[in-house]
Each structure stands twice: as C-alpha cells, then as structure tokens.
Structure 1
C-alpha cells in the first residue's frame, strides 16, 4: 500500500472531516443531551439547518404541515436521519472545493450517497447495524478515486482507457498502470484521518470481501452496495439488476436476493431527497 499512502500524502490540503461533525456527533451519542441542545448546535450552522429543513419538508416524508424549526424537524425525522444528514453534509462541505476537471462530480456524489443509504439499509435488514459506521463506509467507498483524480489525473485517465469497465476490471487496470487501486487509496486516506481500523480494512477489501478478516460481513455489504450502484448508474431494470449480483457475496453479507427490490426502491427515493436537501447535483 506504499504507493497509495504516497498519493494521499502528496495532497497538502486534502480535506478531512470537519470539527462540526464530531461536535454534533458527540451530542447525538450523549444520552443526557436534549433535542434542544442538538437543535442549537445545528442551528448555529446555517447551511446544515437549511438542509435539515429541506429534508424534513421533502416529498419523501410528506408531512401535512410545513416544518419551520430545527427542533421540530429533529423530532419528526429522527436522530438517525439527522446523523446521516450531518455526516453527508460534513463530507460534501469538506470536499466541495476539490473538483478535479476530469472527474464526473455529479456521479461521484450520487454514487457516494446511494452507497451510504444502501449500506445502512442492508445492514438494518437483520438489525445488526452499527448505523453510523456502515453509512460512513458507503460515503467513503469511492473517495480513493477523488484522491487519484486530484493527484494523478493523467494516469487515472489512462487507466480508464476510454471504456466503461466494471469496478473490478478498472481497479485491476489501476494496479497495472499506477501501482495501486482506488480501494487501497481509500484505505490509506482512512488511515491518514485516523479513522477506526475497521473502516480502513473494509474500504481496502471492498472489491474482495473475503480478504477483510473479521470485517468480512461489512466488506460484503459494501461490495453489494457498490454492485447495485453500478447497475443503477447503467439504468438496469430492477429485476435484471438483482439477478446479476454475486450470490456468494450476498451470502457473506447475509442478504436474501428477494429482499433487495423494495430496499433499492426505498433507497433511491431517499437518495433524491438527500441530494436535493444538500444542494448536490441529481444528474
């Protein structure tokens, strides 16, 4: 992973998770904290407050009366959704200034948020979810490509070779040309941010979950989310999409294929509203 670490280190001003995320996260995790305390913290961040209110008033929730206060929005949509929004907003804000000319940033954010929602949804099917961790994994899954497009745009373009190859095929070509792939760079980024070891291991093994050791199930969930995202971006029909998923990986993730169509449809509806709420491009 030496090359991957060098790529991360080469970006002097690489963004990290901002302090506002950790501050609000501590409040969310504090059983003694009140909704009012959380509302005051979010209220001190105008952009975040606006995103929360847009989400609460979106068609996805369909409340009959307009939600006009942050505390009311928190009460109605729940702490879990608030945590998701805060995390997504923090990462989107941090990386908002990093816009490599050759990278499709609309697709990047769409896929990142979709994978985060899918990871949480899949994990929660069996009530075994560390919600924040699986959501974060989805958001960070393709962050390695953002680093690579920023650090070595010519080489990453060469590795694509003008084709629409699968994620696995693309990663193999990246290793041949660059010496590492986006998953390795993502793991190196997680390490540089001093995120929990499980995050880095899972990101690094997302294409090969069997290599994730004790984090095998998390890696299988992330791999499944990435597969689904690829098919969604290719506008595959829902039934065709599920039929093309790797059954061995689904088994490792403890997922029944029949569970997926409803889950995917639900996540797609959430995706549209989350992107709108944060002002991120839909297409």
Structure 2
C-alpha cells in the first residue's frame, strides 16, 4: 500500500498504513474452516444443498428488529439480524483504553452516531481506498484460470503455486496438518501435497490462502472482533461453495468461495476503521450495536470495491452488492452467500449458548424451507458446530 509523501495523514490513516491487508500465509483458523468444508464435501455429496436461482423471495430483513416477537414467524430467523448479534457479542464493553467518563445517554448516543458517520465517510473516500485497498494477489488471475479449467492437471497447478514461496509454504502446512496427514513422514514436496489434497481440495485451500488477511487481534474492546469475523467468513464461504457445488459445478463453487472470502475481507477492513476511530475516543466504550450496524452497512460496499479493484467478474460484484439489500438475492451466488452467512451465524451463536444445537438446526431448516432451499442440513450442521 503506497503512501503519498506529499499528503499528510491523520491518526486513522497512519495506523491503517501499518497493516498489510492480504497475505498468503495460512493460519490455524483457515485450516479449521477448510477442514470443515473438505470433511463435509468429501463424504456427503448426496446431502449438498442446492439453490434454485428462480426462487427470489423477499428476505424482509431490517434493523431493528432484533427480538423474535418482531418477526412474523419467530421460528424463521433473520440472517442479517443474527450476524449483527454475533458481531455485537464480540465487543468487550468492559475494556476501554482509559477510565470511561460519565455522560448522559443522549450524549453517548450522539458520540457513537458521530463515529459511525466518520467510518462511513472515511470508507467512501477515494483517497482512503487508493491508499488502503488490498492489492490483488499477483497469482490470482492465473490460478483462477487454471482452477476453472476442467482439463487442468495437478502438476500444472503445483507449478503455478510454486511461483509464490509463501503460498507454497501454506499448502505444505495444510498437507501436514492433522486433518490431512495420512502418513508419519512429513510431506515436503509441493507436488505430493497437491496430490494429497486433490483438485477439489486445492480449490478452497488456494482461495483462502490468497484472500486471508493479516489481522490485528489481541487486547482492547474490539480485540476479539477480527477473529470472530474471519471464523464466520470461513464457515459462510464454505457453506456457500457447497450449496453452489451441488448443482452448478466446480467453477461456480470456486466463485462462491471467493465471494464469501471477499465479503469477510471487506468486514475486516471495516472493523479496522471502527477500531481506529474508537481509539480516538479512549474514554468512550464501543457500543456493540453501533459496531454491528456499521459492519452490516459498510461491509458489502467495501467488499464490492475490492472485487472491482481486483477486476473480478461482474457476477461476483453483484453477489456482494446483494448482501446490502433486505430482500433475498436473486442471483445464485448472492443467495448462496446469504444462506452461508445465516448458517454460520446460527452455528457460532449456538456454540456460545444463545440457544441449543437442536434449536439452531430447527431455525436453519425453517429458514431453508421458507426460502424453498431443499436440503438435509443435519450433516452440515454437525460439522459447523465442531
């Protein structure tokens, strides 16, 4: 990310310059998400959900409500509402940079609204985007062409991956992980790693490795938020890819994986801007609802800008942009991502004890039935909860 030496930067943008947004180094979280995807798709091909692109019912999701009583049918969850709840729970309201100053509720509400407006303004600025937009991985076009080629060989993909040492190391790390490792001897050859993963396994691994952001996590009120976002991203993108894969083939499944990961990358950027803006007000504890609302409103536009900057296909941008709307997306990629985000949020909230696992599955199946997405979600649900 190039810095313009002739332009002064403020505290928000200067901190943003210190963060590299995209790296190909794999993380434990990526492996966990990929393992869930591979496990599900390797042994449950007959249970993969499919999406009817002609079924474009209104999802009718707004904010508020957050209470089940505000929904016509309390048994049918609202995806965007659940994701907001998940993000809000990741905000630590007890940890602030300095002792909070007592202010009237209306003054606090005004301060949080001002921070939300500042974030929206900064993210929409052309200068900010020029400075902080994640650079497109240089191997992305070549790898996408190869991965979507039905006649491609493992050797050809391995040769492309070998052009990037970091990506090569990531694939070897995955091949030697407990989930994939099938022998005592470590896998040290890139070709051997590709053979173990296979073409179907390489697609999601490469997508995640290319898009995986470098995240600043740790202490502070928003320290947990990036990790929660990326875990949700991995699960959502894996579910979306599986749903598309069931009826449209490998090429569209890879596109669905990319759509989900790009959406998460946009959310990570928004979270960073939120963190930096709240850091300018050390006496003001972050408001979970404000954080969740800004993420909900700004993630899809930011992800769409990344897709345009990376010169990805128009349908990827359309699927990302569709996540802003209350209605159920009409295009298959957008619908798959909406379903993936809902399923991932339900699973993560069930893990946190917001409701039982059986209740979560019942809500997921009720939502799928209402949207006419026909599938047996039971096997997928168990893997999402691991």
Give the match for residue 231 of structure 2.
Answer: 110
The residue number in structure 1 matching 2:323 is 206
Residue pair 1:187, 1:200 contacting (<8 A) in 2 also: yes
Give the 5 Å matches for 1:222-241.
Answer: 222-234=337-349, 235=351, 236=353, 237-241=356-360
Between structure 1 and structure 2, the one with the greater Rg is: 2
Deviation at 1:135, TM superposition (A): 0.5
Give the paired residue count.
Answer: 252
The change in CA–CA distance for 1:34 and 1:186 in structure 2 (over 3 A counts) is: closer
Q: Which moved more, 1:73-82 or 1:204-213?
A: 204-213
Separation in structure 2 between the aligned mates of residue 209 and residue 253 of structure 1, nearest angstrom = 17
| Structure 1 residues 267 and 174: alpha-carbon distance in aligned structure 2, compared to 1, 3 A threshold | closer
Residues 78 and 89 from structure 1, CA distance in 2 versus in 1: closer, same or farther, beyond 3 angstroms? same
1:60 aligns with 2:179: yes
Between 1:79-88 and 1:202-211, the stretch displaced more is 202-211
Q: Using a 3 Å threshold, how does the CA distance of structure 1 residues 222 and 156 change in structure 2: closer, same or farther? A: farther
Taking a change above 3 Å as real, the CA distance of residues 90 and 58 of structure 1, as seen in their structure-2 partners, is: same
2:214 corresponds to 1:86: no
Q: Does structure 1 conserve the Cα–Cα contact (< 8 Å) formed by 2:316 and 2:333?
A: no
1:72 is matched with: 192
Please report how far the alpha carbon of residue 141 of structure 1 lies from its aligned counterpart in structure 2 after TM superposition: 2.2
Q: Matched residues in 2 for 1:137 and 1:31: separation?
A: 21
Report the aligned-residue RMSD. 3.6
Cα separation, 2, equivalents of 1:13 and 1:63: 41
Residue number in structure 1 paired with 2:57:
none
Three-state SS of the structure 1 residue aligned to 2:236 is: helix
Range with greater deviation from structure 2 (232-241 or 100-109): 100-109
> How far apart, CA to CA, are the structure 1 residues paired with 2:348 and 2:126?
27
Check conservation: 1:220, 1:249, Cα contact below 8 A: no
- Alignment-derived partner of residue 146 in structure 2: 27
Output the TM-score relative to the length of structure 2: 0.55
Structure 1 residue 33 displacement after superposition? 4.8
Aligned equivalent of 2:312, options 195, 199, 203 = 195
CA-CA distance at 1:71 after TM superposition? 1.0
Higher relative contact order (CA 8 A, sep 6+): 2
TM-score, L = length of structure 1: 0.71
Contact in 2 for aligned 1:118/1:225 (Cα 8 Å):
yes
- Paired with 1:241 and 1:106, the residues of 2 have a C-alpha distance of 22
Does 2:334 align with 1:219?
Answer: yes
- Of Structure 1 and Structure 2, the greater helix share is in 1
